[in-house]
Amino acid sequence: MSRPRIYAIRVQPEFDGFIPPPASGLDADLFNAPDLIQPVVGFRKWLLVGDELLSPLARTSWGAAPMRARCMPRPSGVGRNWHKVPPHAGPAPDPDCACGLYALFAPHRLWGPQGPGLVPGAVVLWGRIEVHDGGMRAKCARIVALALPSLYSPSGKAAVRRVAERLGVEAVPARQLQAAAQRHGRPLPAALLPA
């Protein structure tokens, strides 16, 4: 497996998901010219537990506010996919770690069988982004849309709609997820994708 490509995505301060720089300390990403100035669209799934969306591996709760990645020790119940190295103090994502907020480049790999409680959706990513063959890991992310897969029961779709309303995002049929996402950002340009 090749080393990831690392890009800096800086968004304009008026972007509604903007996270200001830390009040103290230095963030190396702030001193590099950005590769892009618009958020990058990505796609992922969450576990729906009650009215809460959780990352499938880390069990981190996702809400309406932007998320900022951090390196975490292995949560209990998570298999060996989590961490091969101890947590680090530097910024996430780190090329020698598994930390970061994960997303795929396109939604097509999300449409496999939907297990109970799995909700596909779209995010926008910014800050430091590592690009891998299978997807991206980012420093910052925010949910922008949730999908209503056609195989969901009426009560399952109603639950996704309630969560989307609470988060202030769209709940759209799965086939419309990419279009909904692109109202908030752009896909990673082809020139920046792995060869």
Using pLDDT thresholds of 50, 70 and 90, give the confidence band for residue 89.
Answer: confident
The C-alpha atoms of residue 173 and residue 193 are separated, in whole angstroms, by 27
Furthest CA-CA distance within the chain? 49
To which residue do tokens 């910014």 refer?
126
pLDDT at 24: 44
CB 111 within 8 A of CB 104: no
Nearest to 147 by CA among 125, 175, 168, 167: 175
- Output phi, psi for 166, to 5 deg: -60, -35
The C-alpha atoms of residue 64 and residue 144 are separated, in whole angstroms, by 9
Nearest to 123 by CA among 12, 19, 43: 43
Return the number of other C-beta atoms located less than 10 Å from residue 70's C-beta. Answer: 13
To which residue do tokens 């690392």 refer?
6
Rounded average pLDDT over 14-26: 46
Rounded average pLDDT over 116-133: 88
Q: How many CA atoms lie within 13 A of 24 on its CB side?
A: 0
Q: The pTM is what?
A: 0.81
pLDDT at 162 over 70: yes
156 three-state secondary structure:
helix
CB 160 within 8 A of CB 174: no
pLDDT at 25: 45
In angstroms, what CA-CA distances link 118 with 82, 87, 93, 111, 122? 19, 28, 24, 11, 13
